[in-house]
Amino acid sequence: MLSLHGKVVAITGASGGIGEATARLLAQRGATVVLSARRSERVEAIAQDIREEGGRAATCVVDVTKAEDLKRLVATATDQYGRIDVLVNNAGIAPISPLADCDTEGWSAMIDVNLRGVLNGIAAALPVFREQGSGHLVSIVSVAGLNGASATMAVYAATKNAVRTVHEGLRTESTDGVVRTTAISPGYIRTDLADSMTDPRLRELTRKSMDTVGIPPAAVARAVAFAIEQPGDVEIGEINVRPTAQA
């Protein structure tokens, strides 16, 4: 196992689920982590746990739909620790519904958080990565962005596929080796993502699926750590993490 000592990693959506698991694991492996989310009390409690266990952690309240918040997250890392080596774009929501429901508010919310949030992170981090001479962008995508849309998930899948496309574009642009990119696409993960679903029936069905075939958030956290730990000349462009039952 390679060491993450000296790495400064900022994580969005770090108040629970994959983001929290990633923050805790990376800190255990020696990274300095900057946790961000809208729930300030929750991220501060997680950061305090990390500090009490001997890790280094800071927090920043962030709404990823606001470009200035992502700039403030990057600035928090560079102001406190002198640099930012990795930005993990993890924040996401899934108020899924059949297209026939015409839930335009839910569609807009997914576009704003799942896609625009990643673009805001890229816009905030890229100039700093360029100035430093190195940087790594990691985004949590979804197998929905690989397999196409199932019933009720058309817009959610579209946002995730768009993030994959953006990542591929950034990878092909980054020919000088300064910026590294990794897209991680999980299957069902046991998180509270279903809470963002407005349809009670879909919310319950999704929770049951997560409980039945979902894998723990720590599995995705290990994939993030693996990608970050690799030497600079090793490119890990995409990692898929899903239960065997879904393979």
Q: Which residues are catalytic?
A: 156
The CB-based long-range contact list for 148-156 (8 Å cut-off, 24+ gap) reads 151/98, 152/96, 152/97, 152/98, 152/199, 152/202, 153/94, 153/96, 154/99, 155/96, 155/99, 155/106, 155/107, 155/110, 155/111, 156/94, 156/96, 156/110, 156/114
Helix, strand, coil percent content, the chain, rounded in steps of 5: 55, 15, 30
Is residue 64 within 8 Å of 93, Cβ to Cβ? no
Q: C-alpha angle 171/174/180, rounded to 5°? A: 65
3-state secondary structure at position 70: helix
d(CA 133, CA 179): 8
DSSP label at residue 99 = G
